[in-house]
Amino acid sequence: MKNSISKIKISSFILTLLISAPAIIIFLYLFIGHSDNWQHLKETLLFTYIFNSLYIMVGVAILTTLFGFTTAYLTSLYNFAFSKFFHYGLILPFAIPTYIVAFIYGGMFNITGTVTTFILDILDKDLSEVVFFDIMSIEGAILVMSLVLYPYVYLICKTYLSFESASIIEAAKTFNLSSWQIFKKVILPISRPAIVAGVTLAVMEAVADFGVMDYFGVNTFVTGIFKTWFGMGSVEDAAKLASILMSFVFLLIILERIQRKNKVFKSSGKDFKPIEKEKLTGIKSFLAFIACFIPFFFGFLLPFIQLCFWFSISYEDIIDEDFMTTLYQTLSLAISSATLITALALLFVYNVRKHQDKTSSTLTQIVKLGYSIPGAVVAVGILSFFSILDKYVIDLFSSTFIISGTIIAIIFGYCVRFLAISINNFEAGFSRIPQTYDDAAKILDVGEKTTFVKIFIPLLKNSAFASFIIVFIEVIKELPLTMILRPFNYDTLPILALELTQQSQIVESSVPSMFIILIGMVSVILLAKNMNKAQ
Amino acid sequence: MVSIEKFGISFNDTKILENISFDVKPGEIVTLLGSSGCGKTTILRSIAGLQKEHEGTICIGNECVSSKKVYKKDREVGYIFQDYALFPHLNVHENISFALYKLSKKKKEKRVDELLEQFNIVDHKYKQIHQLSGGQQQRVAIARAMANNPKILLLDEPFSNLDAMLRYKTKIWLKDLIKQMNLSAILVTHDKKEALSISDKIGIINDKKLIQFDNAKKMFENPNSLYVANFLCEVNELPNRYIKDIGLNIKEDKVAIIKIDECKISKDKSNCKVKILDISFCGEYYELVLNLLDYDNTDMIVKSHSIENLNINDEAFMHIDKKDIKIIDK
């Protein structure tokens, strides 16, 4: 088919170049020079970064599999006490950002934490007299990350076990195998690709994390990037670390894709029917309840109750004019970014629909890669990219306007990170619009603009709304990218929460944290309502 | 009138269709018949201007177009899609007026009302598409396609979403409409019964080519190849030695066929002894699977209305009237 170069295609091409520029620059840092500090960094801290990142990856992988797969297996195949509640309840840890859970656990379980002192008081003992697990450690970070991130494994495994594997499991049951034999010989092997897919997402999130690691004082690539950038003021070395981390993440994605390609076990049936659940009674039902209650309790209920309590005793001190400014800044940043990202995503996906060629879909795929790059890496890439741009603008136009450290830089960062979410929404939306609608409009001699406005826009409004809400929530929660790129003294709710914890005001940090969670919850309710209406 | 001359098309360097030529006169219904994926719909899409790159020419009226960007404005084509392509967020009135967006509001309203009247859907004017039955949806799709008075109507599997009774009624209604409005209609289907019952002419596509294009009745009676014969009617291929034994001549590149309902099986002796391998009850008739014992154990299928004295594994005899045998290209 002949390719007609249209304005929309040229725009997509330029935008792709722009959006991928930070990642390309970071990638180039793998091969180009470094500052004098790099040698010192390499000899002292690089090994720690690599070791800690690997340790976190392995730890999070094991624990998220344990929590996520066990709960998915139990809720997919069995009915037991509160199993219907756990169906949704086990997803709730997603509602609280990892760094907020870390702040809460830190406040509860550190040496002077509320729970620690409470237990020591009851036991009437000193800290030196008891075995104490220090939450403010790498193991503590792994535990907290796993408690919040296990829903990735839970959701993917549950979908797979409940639907796609139903016929395989039911076939296994006809051979009179015991539940344990079915689990070992059938369910575990066939679920492996789903487990790996979920674990990869959790692990990627863990290695890209800043808030938890910074608060728990764990040295990882991301905290390293911050230290090099803020402490040493070296963009080059931060970029070099970012380039290693990015390679790490891409390697992970490639490995996951390879295993998925080779080992996807799919039911031979075309239409998936849900699996028939077995009823558990007595002790078995109790044990299944406990297995699901533990991750739900520690991943959501306990931190949420603690947060509510701290909020109730501190909100009057924190909610003042400054706080309202921060809230306003967070909301306006999220609304403007979500609007822009939704519009850009529509442009990319419409370009693919209109041209239906390889170039257009490749451009979209490139842009979507941004989501897998950690926020800190994107931020350093943008800093490097804008410093080049700023220099060019100053040299050429003698202008004093610089983009670095402005809102533009942050919004650009969000575009790089979150366009993929929005594109996925529109892709799903467009896939539900038959190609014959486009053809019908063409035959009726209705122009592209009219077709776009009268047909596509109304049919895509739910996708656009979903995209807006999901990006909005992501931006509200975002921490590392905003930290690095924000203008001087420009706070958002996550930054305020982090700063309060850094000033040992853990209880007070519950206020911005609670607002983040509430805004997220309200948004999710709006999204769910909209989805119901659409259905 | 539509005239297709030496039409061909390729996708990613793979030839899909080549050297297709046929004409459709006003008031004529031509059906393109072929197996799924043979390229029937591609021909419709090319006539409508949706498939821009192709070989050969497509003439509509006096204007001939080759591979260039010309849509309905130049072609005056109405297209009924298999899924009707009705916009779900617009009601019946809005769906039809979508095609008339260039007219003034007053003219648009008038034309929509005319179409609603003509296609007997006035009562459904403000209904949403999902509130209509399959047949009503099809009428809306046709009304929309006819909004700009096209001279050519292209129909892609138009009856596939309708149940048997509705399919029958719609077929008659559509045939009348095409004749009344003197449209040149091209219909695409893989259902031979549908093709035979509605078409003036049928074109059969196989292996990238239009292998026979003829009057529907003529084609049914005189298929020019084994593929066409098999496609339009159920036939048995007779062994060449049998043909020679009954005194007919047959060349190497020809094949002798007989329709499955023109073979008779009984215990009365003939020169063709068979063994009955299976008998299936099919409602109005029985289907017998036979083995020609004296002719290299060739298998055949026979349709019979009675199976008196015949059982599975019986030996019996086949009776064929020589005049029912057709000798065609392999």
Report the percent of chain B where pLDDT is more than 70. Answer: 97
A-chain residues near B82 (CB < 8 A): 436
Asked whether the predicted pLDDT for residue A456 surpasses 90, the reply is yes
Report the percent of chain A where pLDDT is more than 90. Answer: 48
Q: Tell me the mean pLDDT in the region A322-347.
A: 96
For residue A441, give how far its alpha carbon lies from the nearest alpha carbon of chain B (Å).
8
Q: What length is written for chain B?
A: 330
- Please enumerate in sequence order all residues whose Cβ is within 8 A of that of B196, keeping only pairs 6 or more positions apart, or say none: B202, B216, B220, B232
pLDDT at A411: 95
A-chain residues near B79 (CB < 8 A): 439-440, 443
Element (H, E) at B5: strand B2-11
- Closest chain A CA to residue B47: A443
Contact A440 B71 (CB under 8 A): no
**Hey, is the C-beta of B151 within 8 angstroms of any chain A C-beta?**
no
Nearest residue to A172 via CA among A163, A184, A162: A184
CA–CA separation, B175 vs B183, rounded Å?
10
The mean predicted confidence, pLDDT, of chain A is 87
**Hey, is the C-beta of B149 within 8 angstroms of any chain A C-beta?**
no
Contact B148 A440 (CB under 8 A): no
Asked whether the predicted pLDDT for residue B85 surpasses 50, the reply is yes
- Residue A166 confidence class, pLDDT cut points 50, 70, 90: confident
Amino acid at the residue B311: N
Query: Is B78 in contact with B154 (CB distance < 8 Å)?
Result: yes
Asked whether the predicted pLDDT for residue A453 surpasses 70, the reply is yes
- Closest chain A CA to residue B88: A459
Query: N- to C-terminal Cα distance for chain A?
Result: 37
pLDDT at B67: 59
Quick one: residue A138, left, alpha or beta (phi over 0 = left, psi -120 to 50 = alpha)? Answer: alpha
**Hey, is the C-beta of A1 within 8 angstroms of any chain B C-beta?**
yes
Q: What residue ranges define each of the domains in chain B, with the CATH number in brackets?
A: 2-230 (3.40.50.300), 235-329 (2.40.50.140)
Helix (H, G, I), strand (E, B) or coil at B282: coil
Question: CA dist B320 to B33, B216, B270, B271, Å?
Answer: 30, 25, 9, 10
Which among A190-199, A357-366, B20-29, B61-70 has the top mean pLDDT?
A: B20-29
Identify the bridge partners of residue B65 per DSSP, sorted by sequence position: B58
Helix (H, G, I), strand (E, B) or coil at B65: strand
**Residue of A141 and A384 predicted with greater confidence:** A141
B-chain residues near A434 (CB < 8 A): 83, 85
CA–CA separation, B170 vs B135, rounded Å?
7
Identify the bridge partners of residue A523 per DSSP, sorted by sequence position: none
For residue A532, give both structure tokens.
């119901």
Per DSSP (E only), the strands in A184-298 are 278-279
Asked whether the predicted pLDDT for residue A303 surpasses 90, the reply is yes
For residue A10, give both structure tokens.
């040229």
Strands B29-34 and B184-189, bridge-based pairing: parallel
**How many CB atoms are located within 10 Å of the residue A210 CB?**
25
pLDDT at A121: 87
pLDDT at B11: 86
Identity of the residue in B48, B89, B148 whose CB atom sits nearest the CB atom of A458: B89
DSSP B128: B
**Whole-model pTM?**
0.82
Query: Is B302 in contact with B262 (CB distance < 8 Å)?
Result: no
Q: Is the fold of A34-257+276-312 the same as that of A318-534?
A: yes
Amino acid at the residue B69: K
Q: Nearest 5°: phi and psi at A79?
A: -105, 125
Identity of the residue in A1, A437, A454 whose CB atom sits nearest the CB atom of B85: A437
A-chain residues near B89 (CB < 8 A): 458-459
**Hey, is the C-beta of B283 within 8 angstroms of any chain A C-beta?**
no
Asked whether the predicted pLDDT for residue A418 surpasses 80, the reply is yes
- Closest chain A CA to residue B68: A2
**B315-320 sheet: strands from edge to edge:** B263-266, B315-320, B273-281, B286-292, B298-304
pLDDT at A268: 46
For residue A440, give how far its alpha carbon lies from the nearest alpha carbon of chain B (Å).
7
**How many CB atoms are located within 10 Å of the residue B292 CB?**
20
CA–CA separation, B304 vs B287, rounded Å?
6
* Among B69, B81, B142, the residue to mutate for chain A (most A Cβ within 10 A): B81
Asked whether the predicted pLDDT for residue B131 surpasses 50, the reply is yes
Asked whether the predicted pLDDT for residue B72 surpasses 60, the reply is no
Element (H, E) at A79: strand A78-79
Helix (H, G, I), strand (E, B) or coil at B91: strand
CA–CA separation, A143 vs A527, rounded Å?
30
**How many CB atoms are located within 10 Å of the residue B270 CB?**
15
Strands B315-320 and B263-266, bridge-based pairing: antiparallel
- Closest chain B CA to residue A457: B89
**Hey, is the C-beta of A432 within 8 angstroms of any chain B C-beta?**
no
**Hey, is the C-beta of A442 within 8 angstroms of any chain B C-beta?**
yes
For residue B195, give both structure tokens.
């093709």
Looking from the CA of A526 toward its CB, the CA atoms found within 13 Å total 15
Distance of CA A446 to the CA centre of its chain: 41
pLDDT at B204: 94
Identity of the residue in B50, B87, B102 whose CB atom sits nearest the CB atom of A437: B87
According to CATH, the topology of domain A34-257+276-312 is: MetI-like fold (1.10.3720)
Say if residue A281 is exposed, middle or buried (CB neighbours under 10 Å; 0-12, 13-18, 19+): exposed
Contact B81 A459 (CB under 8 A): no
CA–CA separation, B84 vs A461, rounded Å?
23
pLDDT at B142: 92
pLDDT at B277: 94
pLDDT at A269: 47
Amino acid at the residue B67: S
What number of C-beta contacts closer than 8 Å exist between A and B? 58
pLDDT at B27: 94
**All structural domains of chain A with their residue ranges:** 34-257+276-312, 318-534
- Please enumerate in sequence order all residues whose Cβ is within 8 A of that of B159, keeping only pairs 6 or more positions apart, or say none: B167, B170, B171, B189, B191, B194
DSSP B34: E
Quick one: residue A532, left, alpha or beta (phi over 0 = left, psi -120 to 50 = alpha)? Answer: alpha
Query: N- to C-terminal Cα distance for chain B?
Result: 34
**Hey, is the C-beta of B49 within 8 angstroms of any chain A C-beta?**
yes
Amino acid at the residue A157: C
The mean predicted confidence, pLDDT, of chain B is 89
CA–CA separation, A139 vs A218, rounded Å?
10
**Hey, is the C-beta of A436 within 8 angstroms of any chain B C-beta?**
yes
**Hey, is the C-beta of B179 within 8 angstroms of any chain A C-beta?**
no
- Closest chain A CA to residue B146: A444
Element (H, E) at B319: strand B315-320
Helix (H, G, I), strand (E, B) or coil at A415: helix
Asked whether the predicted pLDDT for residue B328 surpasses 60, the reply is yes
For residue B79, give how far its alpha carbon lies from the nearest alpha carbon of chain A (Å).
7
Q: Which of A132-141, A177-186, A321-330 has the lowest mean pLDDT?
A: A177-186
- Closest chain A CA to residue B9: A1
Query: Is B170 in contact with B96 (CB distance < 8 Å)?
Result: no
Secondary structure (DSSP) of A135-150: SSSHHHHHHHHHHHHH
Question: CA dist A504 to A104, A106, A319, A497, Å?
Answer: 12, 10, 18, 11
Contact A445 B89 (CB under 8 A): no
Amino acid at the residue A338: A
CA–CA separation, B309 vs B291, rounded Å?
18
Say if residue A163 is exposed, middle or buried (CB neighbours under 10 Å; 0-12, 13-18, 19+): middle
- Please enumerate in sequence order all residues whose Cβ is within 8 A of that of A435, keeping only pairs 6 or more positions apart, or say none: none
Query: Is A506 in contact with A403 (CB distance < 8 Å)?
Result: no
- Nearest-5° Cα angle at A95, A419 to A375: 40
Query: Is B70 in contact with B59 (CB distance < 8 Å)?
Result: no
Nearest residue to B115 via CA among B82, B152, B78, B88: B78
Contact B101 A436 (CB under 8 A): no
Nearest residue to A219 via CA among A372, A54, A371: A54
Distance of CA A135 to the CA centre of its chain: 23
Residue range A318-534, CATH number? 1.10.3720.10
A280-298 residue pLDDT tens: 999 999 999 999 999 999 9
Contact A444 B98 (CB under 8 A): yes
**Hey, is the C-beta of B126 within 8 angstroms of any chain A C-beta?**
no
- Please enumerate in sequence order all residues whose Cβ is within 8 A of that of A267, keeping only pairs 6 or more positions apart, or say none: A164, A165, A166, A167, A168
What ranges in B69-182 are assigned the alpha helix state H? Answer: 72-75, 92-98, 105-118, 134-146, 164-180
pLDDT at A178: 81
- Please enumerate in sequence order all residues whose Cβ is within 8 A of that of B86, keeping only pairs 6 or more positions apart, or say none: B95, B129, B137, B140, B141, B144
**Hey, is the C-beta of B83 within 8 angstroms of any chain A C-beta?**
yes
